[in-house]
Amino acid sequence: MRENVVSLRAIEKVFPNGTRGLSPLDLEIEKGELVSLIGPSGCGKSTLLKVIANLHTPTAGDVRWWGRNFDHVGKDGSRLAFVFQEPTLMPWADTTTNVRLPLDLDGVPYTEAMTRVPAALQTVGLSHVANRFPAQLSGGMKMRVSIARALVTRPNLLLMDEPFGALDEMTRNKLDEDMARLCAEEHLTMLFVTHSLYEAAFLSTRVIIMAAHPGRIFAEYHIDPGIQRDESFRMSNQFAEICRDLNRLLGEASHASALEMAN
Ligand code: ADP
């Protein structure tokens, strides 16, 4: 059955300095969708993600989470978690303590937290570094800790803002494969911002291409959810074709943004 996770109606965001971050925009995300936002810099990707995370209040329009307002978010079946580009770990705390943080803040009893943390670490393949400190971890491992810290809250919607942008290509590919597996296993719904159309092509079931001045949805591109996201997909003609299509749409969105700027 289709279940609406997020629904935006006529969302606008005008910043205090008058910049129109988002023009009236509609968007619906269904349970199980893996949606990516791509587009030229300044087209409102982060702003849109933050509106959905309730970190930005829209100037106009209506946002619904699981059909209700934000006050109802956080209960079973309606949890959301945010992963930022920077892993933002506490340097003085080991991996376990870093991952446990949201549970401590939520008042989850210590014994329960200490069963959930190892499970989250195992999910991201980090059981062997549970006692290490951030300075002893690679960039990819720190990002995995950050993902484990989001997963430990058992989110139903995972919001990611360019999570692997600072990592090298190989690490990023590996994390993308892990995320694809995780999303399938945990039945996650995910919305993520990326600058990489290859990452969008690999991970998404729907790619939203945005344009700027003002920020808006320019086009949408659907990718068969039944595709197994693995190395053979990355090497396939089908993947190359998706990347070509996205590249063309991204070019058109950049062109449209530049025209708006000139007018
Ligand atoms: P993207 O993530 O696609 O690069 P953003 O969502 O960061 O785009 O920004 C969209 C537009 O809103 C840009 O023109 C940006 O300069 C502007 N903007 C973003 N945040 C603010 C802010 N806090 N104050 C003023 N303008 C902002």
Sheet holding 4-14, edge to edge: 20-30, 4-14, 60-65
Q: What one-character DSSP code corresponds to residue 41?
A: T
Q: Which residue matches tokens 């580009």?
A: 85
Contacts of 205 (CB under 8 A, 6+ apart): 32, 33, 34, 35, 222, 223, 224, 225
| 15 ligand 1 Cβ < 6 A | yes
Does the domain spanning 4-79+156-262 belong to CATH 3.40.50.300? yes
Answer whether the bond into residue 214 is a cis peptide, omega within 30°: yes
pLDDT value for 219: 97
For ligand 1, pick from 11, 12, 15 the residue to mutate: most ligand atoms within 8 Å of CB: 15
pLDDT value for 91: 95
Give CATH 3.40.50.300 domain extents, the chain. 4-79+156-262
Given a cut of 50, the residues of the chain with pLDDT beneath it are none
Query: What's the CA-to-centroid distance between 42 and ligand 1, angstroms?
Result: 6
pTM for the complete prediction? 0.91
Query: What's the CA-to-centroid distance between 20 and ligand 1, angstroms?
Result: 8
pLDDT value for 263: 67
Contacts of 71 (CB under 8 A, 6+ apart): none
pLDDT value for 172: 84
How open is the CA angle 138-119-194, to the nearest 5 degrees?
Answer: 50
Kindly report the protein residue whose alpha carbon is nearest to atom 6 of ligand 1: 44
| 13 ligand 1 Cβ < 6 A | no
Kindly report the protein residue whose alpha carbon is nearest to atom 25 of ligand 1: 15
Q: Which residue matches tokens 């990452």?
A: 199
Query: What's the CA-to-centroid distance between 210 and ligand 1, angstroms?
Result: 13
Kindly report the protein residue whose alpha carbon is nearest to atom 17 of ligand 1: 21
Query: What's the CA-to-centroid distance between 216 and ligand 1, angstroms?
Result: 12
Query: What's the CA-to-centroid distance between 41 and ligand 1, angstroms?
Result: 9
Asked whether the beta carbons of 109 and 141 are under 8 A apart, the reply is no
Rounded to whole angstroms, the Cα distance separating 185 from 140 reads: 21
Kindly report the protein residue whose alpha carbon is nearest to atom 5 of ligand 1: 44
pLDDT value for 64: 96
Query: What's the CA-to-centroid distance between 89 and ligand 1, angstroms?
Result: 25
